[in-house]
Amino acid sequence: MTRHSQASDHTALERLNEQWAACATNGDVEGVVALYTTDGTLVWPDAEAVHGTDAIRIAWTGMLAAPGVWIRFVPTTVTFSESEDLAVDFGVVELRMPPTAPMQTAKYLVVWKRVDGGWKVLYDAWNPNAPTAPAAVS
């Protein structure tokens, strides 16, 4: 088994979180979907769990349908499995959907899996810290 540097893996995951946020903020559904394993799972609030690339694509297409979605991940803890093939990433996600909505802060838990020497999202779960405010009516 190849031993990996946790420092370099931390850096890789930080970059992937930045890439993920940039793709989502830019409405790049395919860029977001490419970050997941083919058997990845989303566990999002107020929705059934979805599994696999096609279902993940549909979910993210819906999430990014509103113009001006903005997302930022702020990892607080990353823990690696003893075998170094999984990493648990816990933190805060800041998001705005749509752009006129107030900034929301949520908790997230992502399990990354080492795939072909890189990292892919195996499980993606988040939930808001407060109930989502209804959209403003104009």
What average pLDDT does the segment 9-19 reach? Answer: 95
What is the pLDDT at residue 102? 84
pTM to 2 decimals? 0.88
Residue 135 contacts by C-beta under 8 Å, 6 or more apart in sequence?
A: 98, 100, 101
CA pair distance 81, 1, nearest whole angstrom: 14
DSSP, collapsed to helix, strand or coil, labels residue 12 as: helix
CA pair distance 38, 35, nearest whole angstrom: 9
Is the pLDDT higher at 74 or at 129? 74
CA pair distance 76, 36, nearest whole angstrom: 21
What is the pLDDT at residue 68? 86
- pLDDT above 90: residue 130: no
What average pLDDT does the segment 59-66 reach? Answer: 93
pLDDT one-digit tens code per residue, 24-36 = 999 999 999 999 9
What average pLDDT does the segment 110-136 reach? Answer: 86
Residue 104 contacts by C-beta under 8 Å, 6 or more apart in sequence?
A: 94, 95, 96, 97, 128, 129, 130, 132
pLDDT tier at 1 (50, 70, 90 boundaries)? very low
Question: Which domains are assigned to the chain?
Answer: 6-128 (3.10.450.50)
Q: Which two tokens stand for residue 87?
A: 């990493």
In order of 14, 89, 108, 111, 113, the CA distances from 57 in angstroms are 23, 22, 19, 18, 19
